[in-house]
Amino acid sequence: MRQSSGLFRLAGALFLAICQHTPVELVAQGAAPSTYDSLARTSRKAYDWLSLSSTSIGHRLTGSPQGRLAESFADSLFRTMRLDTVYTYPFQADAWSRGMVKLTLGDGAGSQHIACVALANTPLEALVDAPLVDAGNGLPEDLERIGDRAKGAALLVNIGLVAAAEGVPNLHRSEKAKLALDAGASAIIFVNQVTGGVLLTGTASIDGALIPVPAACIATEDGASIRFRLEQGVLLTARLEMRNQSERVHARNIIAELRGTDLAEEVIVVGGHLDSWDLATGATDNGLGSFSILDMARVMSEMPFKPRRTVRYVLFMGEEQGLLGSRSLVDSYRSNGELDHVRCMVNLDMSGNPQGFGVGGPEGWHKALVPMCERIKQLDSSAFAGTNSQEVWLHSDHQPFLLAGVPVIYPLSDLGKHIYGCYHSSCDDIHLVRPEAMTNNVRFVGALLYELANAETLPPHFTESGLRDRLVKAGLEGPLRIGGDWPW
């Protein structure tokens, strides 16, 4: 009924426009958000497709048979829609996959096996037997505290922050691994901060290359037990053995476009990563975002009007292994001049039930976003709060766009501890996903795309000095330098 009433309203508006000689395109654009929302709010396609992928494909690790199936599945879904073009962007990558890993602790009198998982981009073969040293949160000050004891040691490092001073920013696990390597560690044992024996994976490499020492993750309960023994003065050694695989593979970003009308040469990119880690099915990271984008494209393609600017839907592969697909695409856009046409990039990574939007852009972007959020709120104020933010962050597919000066936008979501606790772990499966969270992704992100695509004007890209100042102000110079991504 909602769908029918929305189309009846649009038909009536078009009839009046013809009778009154009002430009039909202007009337259609004005009706776009409410008509789109009438269709989007009744759809469960995003959830149904994700559920099918979770049961039929499983994980979506780049370079794996399952990853290739996921690429083909997304490509096929795009091709069932009334989009103007669907294509793939192929790239090559060194794809890591796990083999065996075993961690044994010794105290001189006996040994104990500890459950663990290897982090990605760790050595193809390694066997390290080294004294275990507690490096706390693995931040520069922690490594400075232990000094030369880090050399040749197996360092125990928290993934999150434990007992840190208020306001201290955390670092990505790959940045902590780089600091540990620079300090001379022979192995790195990360401690997850999620209770319940949850083990976490993810890349330990800042650039996608294999790191020279083994790195693994253990549960928070085991970490606490080990630390208690160290605090009691027990000298522990860690024997960490692993065997993994890595090979050069071909992967594909899956891309579709809904071409604009009078401003078709200007492009709004909406993207999210399709790939996932292999411990589960990646339902929340990032099935939530990528399959919502697929349904967004479907609903927008069924509308009886087109946006003024071109909307480009991009499903990236290789995000989990170092933003491989988005880095490659942005490099291509730089070389062929396409980057100048991309007005902004909207990134969906673990988003659900968005309550507003954040923006990382130069002067004017936040000011433009606020009234857009207010208009979207009018569609359903009970489900969308219209909040906004200017926070800038890293380690998702928006990062290469941001570092190229392109303004980036992201939904503001709070999925809850039960979901964030399963991030990169064996419990990230479809049982965590609520269908309405994906429906609201489609509704509110799609409404934002209409706002962006139909705006009379949009603010510019970052200037080089403006981007530098913004990154410094956000405290991102240090992490970007550690990762080798600082542009200056």
**pLDDT of the residue at 207:** 85
Instruction: Report which secondary-structure segment, H or E, holds 465.
Output: helix 464-473
Per-residue confidence band for 208, with pLDDT thresholds at 50, 70 and 90: confident
Structure tokens at 432: 């965590």
15 has a pLDDT exceeding 50: no
At what angle are helices 24-40 and 435-454 packed, to 10 degrees? 170
Q: What is the pLDDT of residues 212-253, one digit of tens each?
A: 999 999 999 999 999 999 999 999 999 999 999 999 999 999
10 has a pLDDT exceeding 50: no
**Could you say which DSSP state residue 150 is in?**
G
The string of DSSP codes covering 268-282 is EEEEEE----SSS--
Compute the distance between CA of residue 198 and CA of residue 219 in angstroms, rounded to an integer.
Answer: 6
Over residues 284-312, mean pLDDT: 97
Per-residue confidence band for 29, with pLDDT thresholds at 50, 70 and 90: low
Compute the distance between CA of residue 267 and CA of residue 471 in angstroms, rounded to an integer.
Answer: 24
Per-residue confidence band for 95, with pLDDT thresholds at 50, 70 and 90: confident
Per-residue confidence band for 42, with pLDDT thresholds at 50, 70 and 90: very high
**pLDDT of the residue at 166:** 92
For the chain, the first-to-last Cα distance in angstroms comes to 56
Per-residue confidence band for 16, with pLDDT thresholds at 50, 70 and 90: very low
Over residues 409-423, mean pLDDT: 95
| Residue 487 CB partners (closer than 8 Å, separation 6+) | 403, 467, 468, 480
- By the 10 Å C-beta count (0-12 exposed, 13-18 middle, 19+ buried), 76 is classed as exposed
pTM comes to 0.92
8 A C-beta contact, residue 315 and residue 461? no
The string of DSSP codes covering 206-231 is SSSSPPSS-EEEE-HHHHHHHHHHHH
